[in-house]
């Protein structure tokens, strides 16, 4: 293998795929980035066996070939090189004839990095014909992932909730996250129509990496490959492939209330500011923030027996009777922070039932209340 490549392009490619490598893994290839040179240019691949990320890098290929080298070492090495152009070439260690190496040259700099045979790396091919495909803009994907993932569980005892439900149904692509205390639902329109729902539970890391590497203004193709239970997210120059989480996601349609007794329209930034102020005084009170709804305002209260209290009155349009309810303040701030509208709606029924925050018609955030003693 012999390749000449822009140092910046190589660095961008390594930064894209290297996070998928598994540091400290018991299998050497899991700590590596696979380098393949061919008619396509340079292709970089890394995996932790759950998520695999591939990136195409424009390069001049004088000789095709492949090998795997430690991802972290190569990333740090390329990041410190002084020049604009890098040459990568297959080599051998002088005192170890059987040891494969990657020779890295840039200007007057030259190094040799011990490498593994590409044969040790897992298969990179998509296994089977896609069962379903959804096409969305990169901007929509990034927005959906950011808004849905705040409710994804971190509890390994409930693995089915550690991924996001991605559903193709009718003419909509829907993403849902849930952790037992709250639920997020975000949808975007699709071209075409699915007569039956196609569900995938996608690991958070896979969607994170796809959203992070999506280029604004481009289109993203999400494919459900039934054989092997995989999802493939094609971003153009970058492809993210992942095993799906096994299991059945909770029926979110049964969790979101259908009707509401009280509907409040309020300025998003004003409400978020009031909740943040209340949290300053609620730290030693389980982060409980109380909302008193009535008249033409929402009164937001945080209090502590040790340090005092905070009360903020936020103007609002209230439909229905007044009531009081309490939530974990951090849950409210997280939701308000990923919303984009100037105005949001808070929908309530009773102080023992879930509240719903709406940001337009495409995003709903369901949160369970805190019980006061």
Q: Mean per-residue pLDDT for 332-349?
A: 97
Is the residue at 303 inside a domain?
A: yes
For residues 113 and 136, state if they share a domain. Answer: no
If asked whether residues 242 and 141 sit together in one domain, one would say yes
pLDDT at res. 350: 94
Measured between alpha carbons, how far is 371 from 148 in angstroms, rounded to an integer?
A: 25
Same domain, yes or no, for 179 and 110? no
Most confident of 150-154, 242-246, 298-302: 298-302
**144 shares its domain with 217:** yes
Query: Is the Cβ–Cβ distance between 17 and 52 less than 8 Å?
Result: no
- The string of pLDDT tens digits covering residues 41-89 is 999 999 998 999 999 999 999 999 999 999 999 999 999 998 899 999 9
For residue 38, count CB atoms less than 10 angstroms from its CB and return exposed for 0-12, middle for 13-18, buried for 19 or more.
Answer: middle
Q: Which residues constitute the domain of residue 40?
A: 2-120
Q: Does residue 136 sit in the same domain as residue 209?
A: yes
Q: What is the CATH number of the domain that holds 8?
A: 3.10.150.10
Q: How confident is the model at residue 371 (pLDDT cuts 50, 70, 90)?
A: confident
Do 183 and 294 belong to one domain? no
Last residue of a domain, one of 90, 120, 150: 120
Nearest residue to 45 via CA among 136, 133, 120, 143: 120
Range in 22-31, 33-42, 49-58, 110-119 with the lowest mean pLDDT: 22-31
Same domain? 113 vs 6: yes
DSSP of 126-184: --S-EEEEEEEEHHHHHHHHHHHGGG----TT-GGGGEEEEEEEEEEEEEEEE-SSEEE
Taking the C-alpha atoms of residue 17 and residue 29, their distance in angstroms, rounded to an integer, is 14
Q: How far apart are CA 340 and CA 371, in angstroms?
A: 29
> Is 334 in a helix, a strand, or coil?
helix
From 254, 284, 307, give the residue that closes a domain: 254
Does position 132 have pLDDT exceeding 90, yes or no? no
Same domain, 151 and 234: yes
The verdict on 7 and 102 lying in the same domain is: yes
Is pLDDT of 126 > 70? no
> Has residue 98 got a pLDDT over 70?
no
125 within some domain: no
Better-predicted residue by pLDDT, 363 or 306: 363
Band the pLDDT of 124: cuts 50, 70, 90.
low
In this predicted structure, the answer to whether residue 137 has a pLDDT above a threshold of 60 is yes
Asked, for residue 372, whether it belongs to a domain, the answer is: no
Task: Tokens for 150, please give them.
Answer: 């705040």
Q: What is the mean pLDDT of the chain?
A: 92
Q: Dump pLDDT digits (tens) for 102-112.
A: 999 999 999 99
Q: Tell me the per-residue pLDDT of 156-169, one tens digit each, with 9 for 90 and over.
A: 788 899 999 999 99
Question: Given 96, 120, 144, which residue is the final one in a domain?
Answer: 120
Where b means 16+ CB within 10 Å and e means fewer, 126-165 reads beeebebbbebebebbbbbbbbbbbbbbeeeeeeebbbbb
| CA distance linking residue 262 with residue 107, whole number of Å | 69
Is there a contact between 369 and 352 (Cβ–Cβ < 8 Å)?
Answer: yes
Q: 54 CB contacts (<8 Å, ≥6 apart)? A: 17, 43, 44, 45, 124, 238, 239, 241
Tally of domains in the chain: 3
Asked if residue 163 and residue 93 are part of one domain, the reply reads no
């Amino acid at each position: 293998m012999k390749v000449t490549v822009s140092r910046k392009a190589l660095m961008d490619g390594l930064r894209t795929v290297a996070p998928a490598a598994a540091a400290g893994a018991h299998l050497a290839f899991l700590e590596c980035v696979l380098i393949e040179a061919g008619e396509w240019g340079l292709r970089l691949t890394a995996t932790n066996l759950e998520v695999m990320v591939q990136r195409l890098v424009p390069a001049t290929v004088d000789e095709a070939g492949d090998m795997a080298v430690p991802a972290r070492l190569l990333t740090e090495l390329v990041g410190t090189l002084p020049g604009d152009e890098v040459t990568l070439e297959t080599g051998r260690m002088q005192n170890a004839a059987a040891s494969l190496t990657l020779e890295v040259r840039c200007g007057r700099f030259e190094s040799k990095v011990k490498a593994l045979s590409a044969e040790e790396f897992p298969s990179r091919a998509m296994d089977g014909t896609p069962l379903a495909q959804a096409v969305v803009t990169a901007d929509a994907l990034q927005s959906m992932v950011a808004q849905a993932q705040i409710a994804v569980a971190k509890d390994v005892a409930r693995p089915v909730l550690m991924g996001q439900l991605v559903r193709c149904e009718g003419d909509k692509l829907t993403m849902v996250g849930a952790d037992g205390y709250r639920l997020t639902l975000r949808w975007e329109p699709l071209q075409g129509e699915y007569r039956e729902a196609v569900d995938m539970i996608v690991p958070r890391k896979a969607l994170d990496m796809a959203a992070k590497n999506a280029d604004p203004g481009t289109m993203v193709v999400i494919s459900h490959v039934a054989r092997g239970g995989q999802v493939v997210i094609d971003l153009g120059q970058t492809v993210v492939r992942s095993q799906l989480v096994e299991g059945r996601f909770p029926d979110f349609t049964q969790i979101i209330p259908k009707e509401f007794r009280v509907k409040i329209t309020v300025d998003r930034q004003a409400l978020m500011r009031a909740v943040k102020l209340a949290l300053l005084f609620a730290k030693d009170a389980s982060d409980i923030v109380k909302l008193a709804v009535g008249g033409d305002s929402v009164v937001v209260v945080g209090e502590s027996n040790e340090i005092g209290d905070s009360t903020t009155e936020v103007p609002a349009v209230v439909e229905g009777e007044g009531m009081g309810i309490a939530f974990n303040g951090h849950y409210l701030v997280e939701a308000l922070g990923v919303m984009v509208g100037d105005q949001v709606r808070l929908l309530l029924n009773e102080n023992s039932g879930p509240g719903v925050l709406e940001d337009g018609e495409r995003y709903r955030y369901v949160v369970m209340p805190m019980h006061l003693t």
